[in-house]
């Protein structure tokens, strides 16, 4: 039989076939790994977007209709302040409100549940409004929020950023534009803002300074922590300020 570089044609074909088989197996393994990763990501997303009962969803819709002009509502389970911040930072309105799904289900099952949760929201946002007023327009706070755990306990959140004068001008312009868009076409403006935030393109909040987050179980503690931030100890931030995933309910 004819040979190729010392190998018979049969051996050459056999070797080539073996190599191709190994390549195909490697591709299959890569495909399986990708599928496993996708399934894992999908599972995470499912966890972050809990399935609510009809009553709980109805209650959420009523709350959003009542307070949605100034508040972004998120429904998710969380086990730490950092995890809660991940959700709250996705807000685009004056306040971000994170509600544990178990609490929402509990309120939905009670006769005066809507009244109770509305009172909780109004009390928390009133306190946050007082914080904003005390800090004044020149504060470094760019986002305020509150999270309610499964027992209805409130924790307060403030995101601060310190950038250049140019940075502040971009933020103020972006806020003015968002407010005007919301007044003209509320739903369309929200969808557009969400897309821009996820894609990171032409983001008016593109950050060139520092950012930090503080949490507290009381408004007084939140105010104290905001005023006590030592910017010299906060590292430079390299990411876009709008590069959060939005998990709004």
pLDDT in tens, the chain (249 residues): 555 455 455 555 555 555 566 566 655 655 554 555 444 444 444 445 678 899 999 999 999 999 998 999 999 988 888 888 888 888 888 899 999 999 999 999 998 999 999 999 999 999 999 999 998 877 888 889 999 999 999 999 999 888 645 455 665 676 677 667 777 776 676 666 655 554 544 444 454 578 888 999 999 999 999 998 888 888 876 544 333 333 334
Q: How many angstroms separate the CA atoms of 128 and 97, rounded? A: 11
pTM: predicted TM-score of the whole model, two decimal places: 0.60
Terminal C-alpha separation, the chain: 72
Give me the sign of the Cα torsion angle 192, 243, 164, 127: positive
Most distant pair of Cα atoms in the chain: their distance: 93
A 10 A CB-CB count for 5 gives 5
CA–CA distance from 49 to each of 87, 101, 143, 249 (Å)? 11, 10, 22, 7
């Amino acid at each position: 039989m004819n040979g190729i570089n010392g190998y018979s044609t049969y051996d050459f074909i056999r070797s080539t076939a073996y190599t191709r088989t190994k390549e195909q197996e490697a591709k299959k393994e890569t495909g399986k790994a990708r599928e496993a990763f996708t399934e894992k990501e999908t599972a995470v997303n499912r966890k972050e977007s809990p399935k609510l009962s009809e009553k709980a969803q109805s209650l959420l819709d009523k709350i959003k209709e009542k307070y949605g002009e100034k508040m972004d509502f998120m429904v998710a389970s969380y086990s730490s302040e950092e995890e809660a911040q991940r959700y709250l930072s996705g807000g685009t309105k004056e306040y971000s409100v994170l509600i544990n799904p178990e609490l929402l289900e509990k309120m939905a099952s009670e006769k005066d549940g809507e009244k109770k949760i509305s009172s909780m929201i109004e009390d928390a946002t009133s306190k946050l409004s007082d914080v904003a007023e005390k800090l004044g327009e020149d504060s470094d706070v760019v986002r305020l929020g509150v999270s309610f755990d499964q027992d209805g306990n409130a924790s307060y959140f403030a995101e601060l950023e310190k950038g250049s004068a140019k940075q502040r001008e971009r933020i103020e312009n972006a806020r003015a534009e968002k407010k005007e868009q919301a007044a003209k076409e509320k739903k369309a403006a929200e969808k557009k803002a969400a897309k821009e935030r996820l894609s990171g393109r032409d983001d008016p909040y593109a950050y060139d300074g520092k950012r930090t987050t503080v949490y507290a179980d009381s408004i007084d503690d939140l105010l104290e922590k905001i005023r006590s931030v030592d910017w010299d100890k906060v590292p430079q931030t390299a990411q876009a300020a709008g590069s959060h995933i939005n998990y709004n309910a």
